[in-house]
Amino acid sequence: MSRVVLFIALRQLWDRKLLNGIAVLGVMLGVLTLIAINGIMQGFQVKFLANIIKISPHVTIFDKELRPAPSLAARYTGELVVASVSHEAPSDRQLRIRRPDEIVMALESMDGVDGAAASVVGSAVLAYGPKQLPVELRGIVAAKQERATPLAAYAKEGSFRALDSSPDGILLGSGVADRLGARLGDQLIVGSPAGQRLNMRVVGVFECEIPPVDSNRVYVSLHNAQILLGKPDVVGRIDVRLTDPDRAPEVTERVERLFGYDAESWQETNANFLSLFVMQNTIISFVVGAILMVGGFGILAIQIMIVLQKTRDIAILRSVGFTRSDILSAFLLQGMIIALVGAAAGEIGGHYLIGFLGTLKTKQEGLVKSETFLVYEDPKFYVYGFVFALVVGVVASLIPAWRGSKVEPVDVLRGQIG
């Protein structure tokens, strides 16, 4: 009987090719939209996160102590020396990470840590001829920093390692170099808020394809940065790279407990962008779900129309031995076939659409830099589209299938229904 039920289902679909074709088209557009929109959104997100994880430390330790020295009043609690302090002046002690080399060695011995490097960060002004540009200055030891944030691969001109061999070397972001008009080998004057000035030579230009970094950041040797910022022998942060970036929050908590300094995972640093991505994905899910639901209502309307038009035929089938479950199965099969054909067509169309969008020339220089449309083809969205379409097709067919299975042949043949 199952083959006969399948034959009846296929015959009903073929007899109403136009109506069923419209239902297939609705499902196809829903699945195609799901794949295409998610491909576009994921393309931007994957590109941004991949670049951030590559050039940024997974965990950053700052010079802020989690257990600072007690306040002035607290030191004399219970004594008659002081009753209260109305306004305590800030300490003139320079913030720093004490024993940074020992901390770096301890970090590198921890499981899951690939590398760690000490650095100092501050603000500076670059002068090249009549042009001046404020920048973020980072002082590093290039050989050690490469283990924490592998930047050598992003050198567009010159060499990242030249910082260690050139006592007056400076590495510019591509945006900084373009705005100054500076090129490899040019001499710059670097000044800082501390009043220090150094003549430095451009030994490299890097481009990591994140415009906020490329247009604002420069690297110099750790020793030169300490001189410029007026922080001799001071280390202000330690960058840590992990084998598994997703474990950054867990490692951050452990680092804070062990060393007593404030630490921040890359997820915390980019929390605003990550929350924005979550919101975007939620909105897209609602939009695509609504489109697929519209396709489901198309299947529902067509199936109800068929049941109403085929009431007498259903009664005849029931009278020759077909059971309620056979009728129910026939209509459910129709809904499943419409959904499966629509899903297959949508997935094929989505694949080619993503490929086409990936070739479109569009210059992007916001959070990430790209010359083409950013797309990402994730296989799981094809699975989601297929499953969602199948569920929508089956659910949309339940009501008309149930109604068709309830038809009583005696009532129809007597003319009481239909």
Mean pLDDT over 390-396 rounds to 79
pLDDT category of residue 105 using cuts at 50, 70 and 90 = very high
The predicted structure's pLDDT at residue 92? 47
The predicted structure's pLDDT at residue 310? 60
d(CA 348, CA 32): 8
Per-residue model confidence as pLDDT tens digits over 203-223: 999 988 888 888 899 999 999
d(CA 270, CA 274): 6
Per-residue model confidence as pLDDT tens digits over 255-275: 999 888 999 998 888 888 888
Task: Classify each residue of 87-108 as buried b or exposed e, where b means 16 or more C-beta atoms within 10 Å of its C-beta.
Answer: eeeeeeeeeebeebeebbeebb
Mean pLDDT over 53-69 rounds to 82
Residues belonging to the chain: 418
Burial class (CB in 10 A: 0-12, 13-18, 19+), 331: buried
Residue corresponding to tokens 């430095």: 200
Per-residue model confidence as pLDDT tens digits over 176-195: 999 999 999 899 999 988 88
**Per-residue pLDDT for 225 more than 80?**
yes
What is the four-CA torsion angle of 333, 339, 344, 348, rounded to 10 degrees? 160
Q: What CA–CA distances, in Å, run from 297 to 129, 327, 344?
A: 69, 21, 19
Nearest to 349 by CA among 392, 382, 390: 382
| Contact assessment for residue 97 and residue 118, using Cβ atoms and an 8 Å cutoff | yes
DSSP conformational letter for 73: T
Nearest to 33 by CA among 346, 337, 373, 377: 346
The predicted structure's pLDDT at residue 177? 92
pLDDT category of residue 367 using cuts at 50, 70 and 90 = low
**Per-residue pLDDT for 404 more than 70?**
no
Per-residue model confidence as pLDDT tens digits over 129-177: 889 999 999 999 988 888 888 888 888 888 888 888 888 899 999 999 9
**Per-residue pLDDT for 320 more than 90?**
no
Helices (H), 114-167: 142-148, 162-165
DSSP conformational letter for 68: P
Predicted TM-score (pTM) of this structure: 0.70
The predicted structure's pLDDT at residue 417? 47
pLDDT category of residue 418 using cuts at 50, 70 and 90 = very low
Mean pLDDT over 291-297 rounds to 73
Mean pLDDT over 355-380 rounds to 76
The predicted structure's pLDDT at residue 219? 94
d(CA 320, CA 318): 6
More confidently predicted of 120 and 408: 120
Other Cβ atoms closer than 10 A to 193: 12
| Contact assessment for residue 295 and residue 13, using Cβ atoms and an 8 Å cutoff | no
pLDDT category of residue 408 using cuts at 50, 70 and 90 = low
What's the mean pLDDT when you consider all of the chain?
A: 80
Beta strand ranges found along 40-147 (DSSP E): 59-65, 113-128, 131-140
